[in-house]
Structure 1
């Protein structure tokens, strides 16, 4: 029987999700970055940037005990990419730095608490590994699903993700 660590499990899941996210982001038609399927929806470029910036957010969970949204000195994403090349470069940079942070984290460190808060108001508090999965991976998967709908509405063929897609039926 093969045993693996908490860190190894998270890295395996991360690698799978990064590969899928990379495939979808590669298809974003940046010339349509202002596309918005509904007035309450993010624009295509904003959504793609948000998905990429969430990688830095996940790294925060690994390397820090908390994040206060009211702290003016807290980490913030860089300026939004202005083209597809910048989007993909940031994705690769943030993916690599997140992976390094996770590789350097021990299982014990991943059981330490992470608190996301706004001043005294706690928004969430979980062990780091749980925060990475819930507010990191699951959050990213949610927005990646939104992105796949945007792309479908723009007639961009959708790649297989967890099984065949209508555009790649023989996955």
Structure 2
């Protein structure tokens, strides 16, 4: 199996699970935050949204500079969030389908102006900044759901609210 196919399968699995979490959000708790230093639930959902669309920025370029990157739109409805999430998944899938092993082993750098935040292979960047980053924020979202007495979907195994098998 090719590396892009492995990443694509993992990407699809993680996005399917993330979709369940985003579907669980209720607009009436968009303003909820568990702590003054934490994002509001709506902000967290919006933060998760663009991550899957970063794949072309990784596969088709040698660098991403956050100081010049446009900020994504902030969406204020569950419907808009889910719609944008689906569109971003398609963008990520197409970029993974269009890449190959050699391209995934190329160097890629993430920076904010003169500050280098990451330098490594494109494959590592996808795993770290798309896959792991999504999982990290999805886990935060699970805590927010629990604190609002909203059922938490299962991720890899059953949750207290959902049995997978």
- TM-score of the superposition, structure 2-length normalised? 0.95
**How many angstroms does 1:136 deviate by?**
1.2
2:55–2:96 CA contact under 8 A, matched in 1: no
1:64 is matched with which residue? 61
- 1:122–1:16 Cα change, 3 Å: same
Measured in 1, the distance between the counterparts of 2:66 and 2:155 equals 33
2:71 is matched with which residue? 76
Map Cα deviations across residues 128-160 of structure 1 (whole Å, 9 max, x no partner): 011000111101100000000000111111121
**How many angstroms does 1:107 deviate by?**
1.3
How many residue pairs get aligned? The number is 165
2:54–2:92 CA contact under 8 A, matched in 1: no
Matched, 1:53 2:53: no
**RMSD value over aligned CA atoms?**
1.2
Matched, 1:110 2:107: no
For structure 1, the residue ranges without an aligned partner over 5 or more in a row are none
2:118 is matched with which residue? 124
2:154–2:164 CA contact under 8 A, matched in 1: no
Matched, 1:145 2:139: yes
**How many angstroms does 1:119 deviate by?**
2.3
Matched, 1:26 2:19: no
- TM-score of the superposition, structure 1-length normalised? 0.92
SS at match of 2:24: coil
